[in-house]
Structures are given as C-alpha cells and as structure tokens.
Amino acid sequence: MSGRQALLKSQCWVVKIGSALLTNDGKGLDKASIALWVDQLVWLREQGIEVVLVSSGSVAEGMTRLGLTQRPSQLHELQAAAAVGQMGLIQTYETEFKRYGLHTAQILLTHDDLSDRKRYLNARSALKALVGMNVIPIVNENDTVVTDEIRFGDNDTLGALVANLVEADALIILTDQDGLYDKDPRRNVDASLISEAQADDMSLDQMAAGGSGALGRGGMVTKIRAARLAARSGAQTVIVGGRIDKVLCRLREGEALGTLLLPNQERQAARKQWLAGHLQTRGQLVLDAGAVSGLRQKGRSLLAVGVKSVSGRFRRGEMVACVDEQGNEVARGLVEYDFFDAAKIIGLPSDQIESVLGFINEPELVHRDNLVLV
Ligand SMILES: Nc1ncnc2c1ncn2[C@@H]1O[C@H](COP(=O)(O)OP(=O)(O)O)[C@@H](O)[C@H]1O
Ligand SMILES: N[C@@H](CCC(=O)OP(=O)(O)O)C(=O)O
C-alpha cells in the first residue's frame, strides 16, 4: 500500500500545529481556528485513530500576555514567555476538548528525554497509556528548562521524534502554506505545490531554502528534515495548510491535499532498522525453548517467565541480547527492567512481578515493538 491510500488505513497520527498558524498573525492565540482543529481531532478519534497533538504557540501567547511586541532575544526571557504562554495554550485546548467531554494532558519534553533510553521508554509508556484512556496528549518542548544546545527550537523535529516514539503511521504538519512548494510562495508568485515525493529526495532541500515566516521557527527546512526522521520508523508525513476547510477529515478521506512525503521502506522494516540503529547490547537474557519459539514463530513479546538467566549490568531501556540455551542469539531488544530487578523476576509469571518487586513497569520483559529478531 502506498501514497494516500495508506492514510485511509492508518491508526495513529501525530498532528503538529505550528506557531505561524496558531498565533493569529502575532495577535495572541487564534482561538476560533483552534476550536475548528479540535473539532477535527475529535472526529479523527471517533474514526478510531489515536491522536497525539504537538502544539507550538507558548512563546507567542506569552509575548501577548506579557505585552511584548518583539520575540525576546535572550534565552531567559524566551523561557519566561514560554512558561506564561503555555498556560494559555493548554487552557485553550482544555476548554475546547471539554466541549466533547474529552480530557487533555500536557506533556513537555526535551531532547534529553528522548535520547535517554530510560526516559524514552517512560515517555512512551505514559503517552500510550494516555491515548489508551482516550485522553488527548498535547506535547510541546519544555522551553523553561532547555538551553541553547539541546533546544529542538522548532516543533517539527519534536513532532517527528514523537511520531517515532509512539510509532505513528502519519505525521501531519499543519502550517500557514498549503504545503511544500518548489520555491517559497511568499516570495515567488509562480511557485507550484509539490503533491507527493519521497522524504529522502535531496532535491527538496533547495526548494525549502527560503527560511521561515515571521512567527515560525524552522520554515520548510525543518519540516522536510522532520519527514525524514519520521520515515525512520516508517511514518508518512503530510505538510499541509491548517486553514484549509476540514483539512484533517479530508486527508483521512483520501483527498490529495498538501505535500505527502513518503518513507522509502515499509513501516515494519523501517521500524526494525530504526531500532537496529540503537543496538549496542548491555547484557544477555537466556531464553527457554518456549520463549524462543514465541519470539521467532509467533512474533510475541518476551515475558520474564521464559527467561532462565540474565547477565550484564543493563538498566531499563538499554539493549539486551536474547539468546537460546545453546548461546545462539535470537533477538535484541530494549529491556523494561534494570538488571537487578530482572534477575528477581525471571521464571515468574507477569502477575507476580508487582508482589516481588513492589512495582511493575510493564508486564513484558521486552515488548515485541522493541524487539528485533536476529
Ligand atoms: N518551498 C517552500 N514552500 C512553502 N513554504 C516555504 C518554502 N520555503 C520557505 N517557506 C516558508 O515556510 C513558512 C512556514 O514555516 P514556519 O514559518 O516555520 O511555520 P510553522 O510555525 O508552521 O512551523 C512559510 O510561511 C513560508 O514562508
Ligand atoms: N516551543 C515553542 C515552539 C517553537 C516554534 O514556534 O516552532 P514551529 O511551530 O515549528 O515554528 C513554542 O511553543 O513557542
């Protein structure tokens, strides 16, 4: 399945709404538009699509609330504006989703949260749990604690990393242009819209060279880069105009709006390759024959009950090798428990984990989504 067809079948969307759109041309949050996007996000949920929202707008809203006419240049002022503005942003979404009786959750992330494996797994479990509870997670960068070096800066990158995190099928980037044009449409009246391309097509880069608008941070450069990052876990990206009437519903129904940027591999293969990129094992789990066949033949997760021994000094979220009793490697995966805890629960059914450890991270020792067969 390729192209727009895949969107019809997709199950999980990360929708990113950029500053350029959200902030009513610099005059505070565009609440009327936010209400319309919320209507559409709720409609997507009703179609059975899991939705995670990545929303910018905290700095712009903070500027309005603090009466600043120019985006601050000093980091501490930017952080202060973001902290003030994030309140208004979340308040607005909370009010709009409440119309439908839906709860929202605020998730503020930094680059560190997603590069540290333990925090990565924690963020993943929390987001998945929220989505499972029919809550709409609203993600933004944690502007108050980040410094220059670790800032995502733009939320396109954050959107892509969240798409990797929740293994979304689609990253939808809503912006103030109808999509990616062959040159900046603000400066070139003859620019034409690119309807579909491979995310890794390098000729896209020069089309995006025009920079960003006055309110946005990354322009199209970071959107194309985001599409490439999202493609690592097999997600498609659509860059599309957020002001197009019922844009999200129409995309779901297969209408060819905006620019579709495709991953160059099938989702499963991309996901496995992405995991493989993280491989550097920190320990070893020896599996019994039942667990080996569960992983190999049935594509199951690894449960503690099927593990005979552990070695190494791994921590939760690190990569471990899973070997059979003869020492042959069967798979590698991200482990859900630290070495000392894993050693205590091997051989036990999952419903005994809590009584032995006093807590439970996950019922699996290695979840099948985090497992690559060797
Ligand atoms: N080839 C291009 N096609 C479309 N927009 C482009 C292109 N090159 C640069 N741009 C600029 O990118 C802007 C959108 O990016 P940005 O301002 O960062 O918005 P956002 O806040 O939505 O991320 C557009 O307003 C446009 O001026
Ligand atoms: N965290 C910042 C977002 C940065 C930003 O504006 O990004 P983008 O929407 O990608 O141009 C904020 O909420 O203002």
Q: Is the CB of 159 under 6 A from ligand 2?
A: no
Q: What is the pLDDT of residues 18-43, one digit of tens each?
A: 988 898 766 789 999 999 999 999 99
> Mean per-residue pLDDT for 221-229?
94
Q: Is the CB of 121 under 6 A from ligand 1?
A: no
Residue nearest to atom 7 of ligand 1 (CA): 184
- Whether 2 shows a pLDDT value over 60: the answer reads no
Q: 240 or 25, which is more confident?
A: 240
List the single range of 41-55, 100-114, 227-241, 276-290 with lowest mean pLDDT. 276-290
Pairing of strands 170-175, 12-17: parallel
Domains in the chain: boundaries: 3-273, 278-373
- Whether 204 shows a pLDDT value over 60: the answer reads yes
Pairwise CA distance, residues 312 & 280, whole Å:
12
Q: Is 143 annotated as a binding residue?
A: yes
User: What does the pLDDT read at residue 339?
Assistant: 95
Contacts (Cβ under 8 Å, ≥6 apart) of 202: none
Q: Is the CB of 238 under 6 A from ligand 1?
A: no
Q: Is 176 annotated as a binding residue?
A: yes
Gap from CA of 55 to ligand 2 centroid (Å):
8
User: What does the pLDDT read at residue 150?
Assistant: 45
Q: Which of 58, 76, 135 is nearest to 102 (CA)?
A: 135
Q: ∠313-316-322 over CA atoms, to 5°?
A: 65
Gap from CA of 238 to ligand 1 centroid (Å):
14
> Mean per-residue pLDDT for 234-257?
96
User: What does the pLDDT read at residue 30?
Assistant: 94
Q: What is the pLDDT of residues 150-166, one digit of tens each?
A: 455 689 989 999 998 88
Instruction: Among 2.30.130.10, 3.10.580.10, 1.10.3720.10, 3.40.190.10, name the CATH number for the domain at 278-373.
Output: 2.30.130.10
Angle between helices 267-276 and 219-232 (to 10 degrees): 90
Torsion of the alpha carbons at 238, 92, 31 and 212, rounded to the nearest 10 = -40
Pairwise CA distance, residues 216 & 342, whole Å:
46
Pairwise CA distance, residues 301 & 311, whole Å:
19
User: What does the pLDDT read at residue 278?
Assistant: 53
Tokens representing residue 256 in the block: 């060819």
Of the pLDDT bands very low, low, confident and very high (cuts 50, 70, 90), residue 215 is low
Tokens representing residue 193 in the block: 């819209």
Q: Which of 71-80, 93-102, 144-153, 267-276 reaches the highest mean pLDDT?
A: 93-102
User: What does the pLDDT read at residue 163?
Assistant: 93
> Mean per-residue pLDDT for 325-347?
94
Tell which one of 154, 177, 220, 225 to mutate to probe ligand 2, the residue whose CB is within 8 A of the most ligand atoms.
154
List the single range of 18-32, 271-285, 354-368 with lowest mean pLDDT. 271-285
Tell which one of 140, 158, 172, 186 to mutate to probe ligand 1, the residue whose CB is within 8 A of the most ligand atoms.
186
- Whether 149 shows a pLDDT value over 50: the answer reads no
Q: Is the CB of 216 under 6 A from ligand 2?
A: yes
Whole-number average pLDDT of the chain = 89
CATH 3.30.110.60 fits 3-273, yes or no: no
Angle between helices 75-98 and 31-46 (to 10 degrees): 60
Pairwise CA distance, residues 243 & 174, whole Å:
8
Q: Is the CB of 19 under 6 A from ligand 1?
A: yes
Q: What is the pLDDT of residues 312-331, one digit of tens each?
A: 989 888 889 999 999 999 99
